[in-house]
Amino acid sequence: MNPKESTVKNMPTDQADGLRQLMSHGAGQMLAVVGSGPAVGATSVAVNLAAALAQQGKDVLLFDERRGRPLQTGQRKGRLLVIDTALDLQGALSPLAAQADHVLVVLQPNAASIKACYSCIKKLHYAHALQRVRVLVNRASDKAQAQHILANLAHTSGRYLSLTLQSAGAVRADARLSDARRLNLSVVEAFQTSPATIDFHQIASDLLQWTWRPLDDGEASAQATARPTSEAKPALQMH
């Protein structure tokens, strides 16, 4: 899942109007998933995290900024919006993603990707005055490798950017990810016992414990109404 890079500045007028309408009614809870460079698997992370969150009972709306249709206010109420984020040419977030509760930057465990990740975080920090960024290592060989990378990035970011870099975990390299793509499914849906699925569920579980902005009364009511029962599976909607 490596869609071609595009920018929010080139967003179609109807989509931009939809986002302006959405923002005018309050942002709610949002997670912005950012690829630190091309082909790091950010879209895969966004899709699979959203699927794992839905399976854990969260009412999720997944939005692809590159190809998404305009969001309507009613679609957003009481949901966690997971944004597959498109950075602009300067490496900045869209107006919508800039309002996210958490920015999650995805990288892969190689020197070029680690360098690109630091550059991406630096641009985000200066563009939006971010004081905290979450980082996820995608396609890691093991947990120790991911922890080593994240520790080095956290040290460098804290020293030179005065920014807190927090680990969002790691997803192991898993052949089932490619198999799921061929089926046009998330690996979480297609292969429920695969290593990557286990990792996505762990990350989703941890993510639900992060600090999020409170829902307003209307959103909280909508979320309570939408909460799945034991007989009904939560729906994951993609736009």
- pTM confidence score: 0.81
Rounded distance between C-alpha atoms, residue 134 and residue 132, angstroms: 7
Mean pLDDT by 10 residues, the chain (239 residues): 34 50 60 96 96 94 80 65 95 94 97 97 96 97 96 95 95 97 96 98 96 66 44 44
Rounded distance between C-alpha atoms, residue 207 and residue 168, angstroms: 8
pLDDT in tens, 67-103: 865 555 456 667 899 999 999 999 999 999 999 999 9
Rounded distance between C-alpha atoms, residue 239 and residue 226, angstroms: 19
Question: Other CB atoms closer than 10 Å to residue 97's CB: what's the count?
Answer: 25
Bridge partner residues of 237 (DSSP)? 61
pLDDT in tens, 95-115: 999 999 999 999 999 999 999
- Chain centre to alpha carbon of residue 86: 11
Domain boundaries, the chain: 25-211
> Hey, what CATH class is 25-211 in?
alpha beta
pLDDT at position 214, please? 75
